[in-house]
Structure 1
């Protein structure tokens, strides 16, 4: 993301079908009213037919250039107002989806800026409380774990070299107006969101009439969390409206083709989990692959399944359009996945072809010496509140990932 320090800012946001780690997150982004944002669909190969779609907080599902935004190829330029707050993603003519991104537009005068792209451990990270008027850099007081860190007359706090010791609860409470930032610094694929959506069985493709359990796994009290979705055709709705059976913070769905779409967890206060794409094809062949990112070094099995009998027909597997192998058992195992295994997979058998599914692989390699390497998974979570001298209250949440290299 690029930002300028003048009052009228331009932000560039990419929604990518072929996801790098940070774009596989559901990013919670805050903007001033009347700022401009560019939403771009980054597609490997031909981007023809891809468009930016949104579901606003008012429940309206529509394409760019209908009553909002200006279409430019597979991108959309939007001059933002509060009614533009909502969930945005890319969609193809055949119903494929990218990751989803949550955008919040504040009518108020203050937002919190933080790095939008992944930062590396050891890098310098700056957090800024910004006022839309003049001056934009009001004094802010920052605390960590209840202890005063510093007062910054510039309204920004810099962590010169982010490390594990920076883990903690950050806040500022000197004035009436506050903004909160959830800064998730992660050294693995598991970004510390307020909640995560799990899918059982763990796959993204399902036959018609199969049952799937969607569960909101919440840190702390799960009361008020619910499963919501944006189907390919329809509006933003929650479980138990005209689909699904709620069970606590979970939802059981008996699937039909119209249930294909983007699913996530949402709290009563508007917090979100990660988002997942679920596909229910009309055909009789699916590819079973993990719906969530897999960790480098793990064993992963892809299965080409036929809905009839026998279900395990000989299958041909493809990655990114190229033949990988033929398996008489109908399944293909990658003993230890690596970043090179990330890609778009599909399969064929005598009964037909599966839809394509993207498999994300997150790998953390740490070279400890010239002869020793190791993989380490650590996660840290920071909560920050910054408070300039104003008199109303706004909240903004942004998610950032941290990659660790020694």
Structure 2
């Protein structure tokens, strides 16, 4: 058997005891020790959580990980823990709920298990060095410790040496580990290792500070719930917590002082629980636990379990037992619970508000007495609680009957003097007393009215006052315990005062300073006494009561302060009456005024509100103030009561200059000194203009961009923008704006703006669009026929196209230098013209492109036609074709005239998509399958009417005989029966107007 020792009996020869440390005696393998008093204090504190490392090293290479495990009261059981991580700056970074935590960052780590306190911190280092020294922390006495010297992967280190406190300790030739088999206090110190990197230099590891700690063994019992809250029927859990005992621990439980063993549980952990699923009275008693690992036996401090019985619902009783009592009676409230463990706390409530709290330790009932007042009416209940939750009694209602107090009689309107004819209300009210209450009213002791009050303690009635109603009034109140009388109130009829008249002696509204003035106030009628009050500018000067006559007066010597409006009032209790005001003026000439300018800032700006304030220090009011700008009146203002006057200006640029003011009260004007004002003007929104040599800008032109703001204080900075990109910056110290020139290229088309900036503001102009026109290039003419060679009757398309040039582009087609057709391309690109071939159409063709910036002619293309027309009549067809070509020639002349206008100043081109030839079918006009041409004769009407802008208003075809023409190509005529070929071919009436075409320039079939 191991030897059992008690700490109380230990001597220095048996065992060495030091704080936190137990050391075996010499020659002793094991022993048992019972720790009593010295460890009882330790057992009362809750255990800390413990952080363990796997692997156990606190230093690792960067890129590696360390697994941390948080151990609490239930050491090896799965439980939640909160982890804390501190950076090197000391700030908390994150929290996580897990029993384990894998980390890879340097810093301090702490944890707190759900059943324990916060652990001590563990500092981890993830090193980038070539060599590190790894050691476990913490180290306790008798621990087996391994120190490991490691080189980084891929780095070869030879001749590694271990140092302790900078002194050689061991050479690590065959292994990188150094073993301390049983750690002792002498092994504490600072350790490091070093070695030689191949073909390089020496390397040294980090320093590890090892402090060997003594082991403090500790065994204690924790209960759930707390000892003082163990009640019948609850689950009780006893936990035996063991700290500082290594190896497998056997937990033994004991109940009672005789250590009769209840239950023994052996487990491979440091903790054990003993549960009682439903506590009974028989479970009460003393419990302790014993921990043993075969060498060491530790016993906990015993805990005593007292099983408490919950209280039952209490009963509240009143003594004497009744629900209605009288004010002044003494009542006893008693609360009693039939069962429940002591102590029991009783609480008494009135309408939900606690009025008494009593704790009993030996009696199941508690009571207290009090004397009833009116406030004690209401519902009462009590509660009993012995720690398991308060139980409430049923409510008991108590009603207190209160005798009425002496009532109070009041008159409305208030006062004992009332005008005849007014409505008077008599009100009788008892401040206290239980309802219902009967009220009675009396005049001169004679009963006049009876009223029962059931809802409130007041009653009233009204009547119209006559002279007979004057007299003494009283009332009574009774609720069955005897009538109570009010005091007597006297009521009399009075005559109100009339409006008084105020007179001045000497008379007049302007009196010299120093004169003696008498004010007299008189009312023609009204019951005495009358109180007179005299006022100046609404401030009371004198109060006099007249008891024998309806007049009152007083005198005083005048000073300048006595100027103003005077009136008086008369009052005999029925309301004050006021006289009309009388003005009294003591005149004093004005002094020289002072003009001050009050501005919101040191440098005034246009738009600021500036206040001009003029004030004469002395002078009798009213005073007229006039304000001048460069000796021109800008405003005036009167000060009826003296003092100064102000005038406000919303500043414009014109308000700069000298200002003065003048004060005048009729006894001579006085002018102030001159004050100067300088107004700074923010820039206005600038205007950007283009100055070009022609109406339409063309590539190669030099255009001047001019930016100018109409107002603004210099200096002004101008910025020019093209599509929000700065082109030019210019600063000017005078008006007139700023300019710069551009030699135009095609890329200069786009939106332009400018910005004006001075010290007060920046303003940007509106956008201005510049369209740079490009002259047309030489066009290319192509003939598109259905076959080769061309045959009479074929429809040939002539297509003309210039590769570049700003739209719109007018294309004209020529046969042997004779115009045969024209077409406009509003959006650029080419244009086409169709011919239904006859023999006369053989020859040379060319086309011309013109956008108003110079015409360009194509190369000549030769067309050869073979074959005959067959059923067609050539002469007639040729005549018709010639007539139609003449019409097209006139249209082409009109279009050329329009384009020539573009080259003049002011010429302008706008588009009309609804009347543009480009909207027609691209194959129009087309000549084919026209058997009835011989019957068509062109008729021209309204050709160039006088005063109009129509060249051809209508060209029709006339059908001869009963033969009919083939319908027009769709899209050129609105219905198939119409015979209109052209309709309103217009030219501009002025250079600014625009030619419009309503149909294709080629003839119809």
Q: Fold conserved (TM > 0.5)?
A: no
TM-score range, shorter chain: 0.3 to 0.5
Scaled by the length of structure 2, what TM-score is found? Answer: 0.17
Scaled by the length of structure 1, what TM-score is found? Answer: 0.40
Which structure has the larger Rg over C-alpha atoms?
2
Greater relative contact order, per chain length (Cα 8 Å cut-off, separation 6+)? 1
